[in-house]
Chain A
Amino acid sequence: MRRINIPISDEVIRSLHVGEPVLLNGIMVTARDAAHKWMVETFIKKTRPPQGDDLEVYEALKKLLNGGVIYHCGPVVAGLETKEYRFVAAGPTTSIREEPYQADVMRHFNAKGVIGKGGMGAKTLAGCQEVPFVYFHAVGGAASYIAQTVKRVHGVYKLEFGVPEALWVIEVEDFPVTVTMDAHGQSLHALIEEQSQKVLQELIAS
């Protein structure tokens, strides 16, 4: 299976196609609902003034996400009391909730991959072609298995969002994913949606 190192180049992104399984290696950042809303409102649309350590975190994210990967994940983390963090369970969360934000975030930070589950919609798919970036699908619920690929927790930002919603900076080794939306306009999710819609119509008509 093909191994891909983070940061990822545009050339590598364009070489990926729907259906290809890959192993990701390197440093990525977890971000889900609260983080996406916060990034868009504070740094992209600027409808909310930066507060507290926002600008400091922004500078760190700009470096981490340039060519980087965002993981839609709200992990179970051990070592909260000692700050010697360890990922215990860390599967993907449902990505579609970030549909209003994802393409804007990827463009702003020049991020190259987003990992989640369930796929995303038309706005994100258009962003995949333009930025470019790809959507990597991890196996939903495979939390203990995926946590074993997280070799080190480098740190955490915005822990005040709560453990699941914080931005965790993690180093992974051979994190298994499948490309399900690529930079060439293909989406496995759109295809399955369309095919299953036809079957549904037939079943309902009978």
Chain B
Amino acid sequence: MRDLTNEILELIRRASTDLPADVEKRLREAVEREEPGSAARSALETILKNVELARQNSTPICQDTGTPIFYVRYPEGWSTRRLREQIRNALAEATRRSYMRPNAVDALTGKNTGNNLGDDDFPYIHFEEVGADEPLVIELMLKGGGCENVGAQYSLPDARLGAGRDLAGVRKVVLDAVHKAQGQGCAPGILGVAMGGDRGSSYLASKEVLFRSMDESNPDPKLAELEQRLTEEANQLGIGPMGFGGKTTVLGTKITGLHRLPASYFVTVSYMCWAYRRRRMIVKGDEVIYE
């Protein structure tokens, strides 16, 4: 098994400093929708200047380089113990090179470890075994604390919102979450929504769904319709970029469903800030491809 520490370091550098094309495209479309001279438009223009500058100088798009969330699909026979070690070493090196901010803080003492390495769940690494002839795929998402703090979970029915256990109820609670977030999650955001599961699996799925491309529509036509409707209605709220008011509050919505217990109907919303940082590396033999 080859040592991929340097290749993973490059994955982290790209994730932190180079915003994916599908997100940048949405931001460029959003600028055109906002009124010339408005605070909303000016915020989006600054955001786009920042995106270019970060890419050009290889510096973090956002200083909150977030929770590093790795999803690893490894061919049968690879050692997850070694892959974990390589990911952790790469992350410490990325922090030393200022691609990442030291973000791992001890829950009890408040002490920052200084190198982004915390316990087994920091960085978060999910392993999934695939066939021996398939490539190794490592996906990385960086999710900042500001947007993580405005994530929300609802248990349906929700009497306050009049939300029942159906897609109409899902729609109501998601809109409520966007309203509660206001500009604090660095709007315009991207919504990751999970229906079903238990409290834990629902939160995880609401983040996993954010690995999907913004250009790809939901394979389920009912969910595709709801995704589009939620994006449009969230934008009617008028919260706007940074909460300054304006037409763009949300850039997109991604929904997924999980099997649930008969008694439980959770809806979880993970709010992703506009700095929607995610990158993928694919290792086929000697070749390493970054997406």
Contact = CB atoms under 8 A, between A and B. Distances in A.
Interface of A: 19, 21, 34, 73-78, 88-91, 93-94, 96, 117-119, 137, 139-148, 161-165, 176, 178, 180, 188-189, 191-193, 195-197, 199-200, 203-204
B242 A163 contact: no
16 contacts: A77-B98, A93-B146, A117-B146, A118-B183, A119-B184, A139-B50, A140-B146, A141-B62, A141-B144, A162-B102, A164-B112, A189-B182, A189-B243, A192-B244, A204-B172, A204-B175
Given A143-B54, A189-B182, A196-B182, 11 more contacts: A76-B60, A76-B101, A89-B60, A89-B98, A118-B184, A139-B242, A141-B50, A162-B105, A188-B243, A189-B243, A195-B245
Interface stretch (B1-9, B69-77, B202-210, B231-239): B231-239
Contacts of A143: 50, 54, 59-64
Contacts of B65: 76
Contacts of A78: 98
Given A21-B42, A137-B242, A144 B59 contact: yes
Contacts of B42: 21, 178
By secondary structure, the A interface counts as: mixed
B159 to A, nearest CB: 13
A199 B238 contact: yes
B39 A73 contact: no
A91 B175 contact: no
Given A118-B183, A143-B50, A192-B182, A76 B243 contact: no
Contacts, number: 168
B273 A88 contact: no
By secondary structure, the B interface counts as: loop
B57 interface: yes
A141 B43 CA distance: 10
B110 interface: yes
A96 B100 CA distance: 24
B50 A74 contact: no
The 7 closest A-B pairs by CB, nearest first: A162-B112, A118-B184, A145-B50, A89-B63, A89-B60, A140-B186, A142-B50
Contacts of A144: 50, 53-54, 57, 59-61
Nearest to A204: B172
